[in-house]
Amino acid sequence: MLAEGILVGLAGAAVVAIWFLIFDLAAGAPLRTPALLGAVLFQQLHDPAELQITTKVVLEYTVLHGVVFVVFGVIASSLFGLVDRDRRVLFAVFMLFACFEVAFLCAVAVVSGVLYGELRPWSILSANALAAITMLAILFRRHRHSPAELLVSGE
């Protein structure tokens, strides 16, 4: 389960990282998003105009991002292990993913009001939704459940 959780978490982290790499490339500022998040978290950046995109800050944020997703992946994988024994737990998995989406938006807002103006909420929601779909697809496939079972998991 630990290996599966790590795989699931890294897949989700990769999807988000690729999404924001494309987003940043389209805006003409490659790696701006991880640099901005890293600078706010690790360097107490208050003015996005002062952002300097460095390898160090991008790597620091990327490691943190990966660890958070791996922890989430291990939790999700563990819950899917429970789903194998009791299908009703599937609803809890759905709620976990929904709460994770909202929690990340709130965390961005709390960490810095500056970030909320810099990072569009739709881009955060889109990235995390794509990550959730990817992670759930891996879990549903590996555990031989169908997403449709979510609708009848309380029966």
HSE-CB of 1 using CA atoms within 13 angstroms: 13
Distance, in Å, from the CA atom of 74 to the CA atom of 9, rounded to the nearest integer, reads 7
Helix, strand, coil abundance in the chain, percent, nearest 5: 85, 0, 15
Dihedral sign of CA atoms 126, 130, 131, 136 in order: positive
Residue type, position 48, single letter:
P
pLDDT digit string (tens) for 96-117? 888 888 887 787 777 656 676 7
Residue 21 confidence (pLDDT): 97
Distance, in Å, from the CA atom of 6 to the CA atom of 9, rounded to the nearest integer, reads 5
Residues (pLDDT < 70) of the chain are: 111-114, 116, 145-155
Residue 89 confidence (pLDDT): 79
Residue type, position 128, single letter:
N
Determine the structural domain holding residue 37 and report its residue range.
2-152
Residue 91 confidence (pLDDT): 79
Q: What token pair was written down for 23?
A: 């987003």
> How many domains does the chain contain in total?
1
